[in-house]
Amino acid sequence: MRVGLFAVGRLKAGPEKDLAARYLDRFSKAGPAIGLELSRVTEVPESRASSADTRKREEAAQLEKSLPDASLLILLDERGKALDSEGFASLIGSFRDSGKRDLMIAIGGADGLDPALHGKADAVICLGKMTWPHQLVRILIAEQLYRAVTILSGHPYHRV
């Protein structure tokens, strides 16, 4: 299964970008052995519309344009379901085993994600009850993707 990340906003050069890249590189190297590969990271600029609702709609349209046909979609949203690392790995494993070829994980902009996307999503999850800057969310989801691969493959990186 090809796994892509969609993010509203761009990571600038610096430690956040380097750390996210490090975990995505680890995912890219370890994932193919268990049927997971990094397809791409799509970054789109934040909408400049005057209202939050319009910004979210415009950003959602960018996401929909970047979705491969018949792909699965995970939204990262503060109102989503909280999963532990093993639950996230299980979700990724079940999606991998579903027969679909592509999975996209979406990180919304500062205003969040358009509510219309929730009906199209296969899962809506959160990274805890705290609010995180988008740069850190990118690092956190990259690390959790790598951790999911290690859990699914029985590698000792994830210790309970």
> Is 132 marked as binding a ligand?
yes
108 is in an annotated binding site: yes
The order of strands in the sheet holding 37-44 is: 37-44, 2-8, 102-107, 72-82, 123-126
| Element at 40 (helix H, strand E) | strand 37-44
Strand 102-107 and strand 123-126: the pairing is unpaired
152 is in an annotated binding site: no
**Annotated binding residue at 131?**
yes
Whether residue 54 is annotated as binding a ligand: the answer is: no
Q: Consult the annotation and say whether 67 binds a ligand.
A: no
The alpha-carbon radius of gyration of the chain (Å, integer) is 15
| 1 labelled ligand-binding | no
C-alpha span between 18 and 89 (Å, rounded): 24
Alpha helices in 1-133 (DSSP H): 15-30, 52-66, 85-96, 115-118
List, as residue ranges, the binding site for S-adenosyl-L-methionine: 76, 108, 127-132
List, as residue ranges, the binding site: 76, 108, 127-132
